[in-house]
């Protein structure tokens, strides 16, 4: 016989936290300050929390919208991986590719485009973290290498917005070699004295950091972005201790002398344009629509083989 008897009904366990009933995407809770932000306010503020300046991740497409004055021309949109290793882990790589393509509307983890940044005709490569963690395989490597070669040929500055977990494991050593391929192209860009600005956003790690992310004439980071070579977990396993707060964040790298400046997203475009002008890029006056066709040069370039 029990000594104590539950006289009252047990208190019902708290129902599993229901997903907020607030209409999807109307309000966002800031992970930085826990404030509830109206989605439109966030969007008009370039996805930076108006209260605490927490930088939300943004898509490759939105990034282009934030940088370019107006429209842009996209390059090599149709490049897609063939799954060269026929890689399968718990899921076939082909299936991962397919779901990423569906989720992002992109064929791989980078958009390359040219357009005007504060009047300066610029080639921008913008990485999409939502596509298999922004990882770099042959397509990312090829698109960025082509972008840099275009910049060498046409003397247009290059901006690469990094957002990547590193090389893409599912394409094996081929992914690794993209680091060498892009750095080779950057060597030519460097010799040609064409400006290159690397923008490091959260997160930039692994093979991307150990190649083009660190080779800008200017390496600019967004606040509090995770930037490093080895991931924090790998380091913790190696040294068997917890890493200090803020380790591998932008401000840490700035303090260690590894990046040139940390810039708030809302000022990023202005800083980039300024830097490009320092590096000799000149503003092409926005021309009337009828002749505003910098792409007339394009057919002169080696046409992509198909």
Residues forming the site for other proteins (CB under 8 A): 74, 76-82, 84-85, 87-90, 107, 137-139, 141-142, 145, 167-181, 183-188, 190-191, 206-207, 209-215, 228-230, 234-235, 238-239, 243, 247-248, 256-258, 304-306
The distance of closest approach from Cβ of residue 131 to other proteins in the complex, given in angstroms and rounded to an integer, is 14
Instruction: List the one residue out of 104, 100, 79 whose CA is nearest residue 91.
Output: 100
Whether 271 contacts 239, CB under 8 Å: no
Q: How far is CA 67 from CA 15, 122, 167, in A?
A: 44, 10, 25
Instruction: List the one residue out of 218, 220, 149 whose CA is nearest residue 181.
Output: 149
DSSP 8-state symbol, 184: H
The distance of closest approach from Cβ of residue 19 to other proteins in the complex, given in angstroms and rounded to an integer, is 25
Q: Which string of DSSP letters, residue by residue, matches 274-289?
A: HHHHHTT--PPPPPPG
The distance of closest approach from Cβ of residue 21 to other proteins in the complex, given in angstroms and rounded to an integer, is 33
Question: Hey, how many other C-beta atoms are within 10 angstroms of the C-beta on 213?
Answer: 26
Between 118 and 190, name the residue whose CB sits nearer to other proteins: 190
Between 132 and 263, name the residue whose CB sits nearer to other proteins: 132
The distance of closest approach from Cβ of residue 260 to other proteins in the complex, given in angstroms and rounded to an integer, is 12
Between 142 and 222, name the residue whose CB sits nearer to other proteins: 142
Between 231 and 294, name the residue whose CB sits nearer to other proteins: 231
Could you tell me whether strands 218-221 and 261-262 are parallel, antiparallel, or unpaired per DSSP bridges?
parallel
Between 188 and 277, name the residue whose CB sits nearer to other proteins: 188
The distance of closest approach from Cβ of residue 306 to other proteins in the complex, given in angstroms and rounded to an integer, is 5
Between 134 and 137, name the residue whose CB sits nearer to other proteins: 137
The distance of closest approach from Cβ of residue 255 to other proteins in the complex, given in angstroms and rounded to an integer, is 9
**Distance (Å, rounded) from C-alpha 123 to C-alpha 116?**
9
């Amino acid at each position: 016989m029990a000594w104590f008897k539950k006289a009252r009904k047990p208190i019902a366990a708290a129902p599993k936290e229901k997903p907020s009933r607030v209409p999807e995407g109307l309000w966002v809770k800031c992970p930085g300050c826990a404030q509830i932000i109206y989605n439109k306010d966030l969007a008009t503020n370039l996805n930076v929390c108006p209260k605490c300046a927490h930088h939300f991740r943004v898509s490759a497409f939105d990034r282009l919208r934030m940088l370019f004055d107006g429209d842009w021309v996209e390059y090599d949109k149709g490049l897609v991986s063939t799954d060269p290793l026929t890689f399968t882990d718990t899921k076939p790589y082909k299936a991962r590719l397919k779901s990423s393509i569906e989720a992002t509307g992109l064929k791989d983890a980078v958009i390359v485009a040219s357009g005007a940044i504060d009047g300066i005709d610029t080639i921008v490569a913008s990485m999409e973290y939502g596509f298999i963690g922004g990882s770099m395989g042959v397509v990312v490597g090829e698109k960025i290498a082509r972008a840099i070669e275009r910049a060498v040929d046409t003397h247009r500055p290059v901006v690469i917005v990094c957002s990547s977990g590193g090389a893409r494991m599912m394409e094996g050593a081929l992914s690794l070699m993209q680091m060498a391929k892009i750095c080779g192209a950057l060597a030519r860009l460097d010799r040609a004295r064409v400006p290159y600005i690397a923008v490091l956003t959260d997160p930039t790690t692994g093979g991307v950091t150990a190649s083009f992310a660190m080779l800008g004439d200017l390496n600019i980071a967004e606040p509090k972005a995770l930037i490093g070579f080895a991931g924090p977990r790998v380091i913790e396993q190696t040294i068997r201790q917890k890493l200090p707060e803020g380790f591998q964040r932008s401000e840490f790298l700035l303090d260690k002398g590894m990046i040139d400046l940390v810039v708030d997203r809302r000022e990023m475009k202005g800083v980039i344009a300024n830097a490009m002008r320092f590096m000799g890029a000149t503003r092409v006056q926005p021309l009337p629509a009828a002749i505003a066709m910098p792409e007339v040069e394009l057919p002169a370039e080696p046409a992509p083989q198909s």
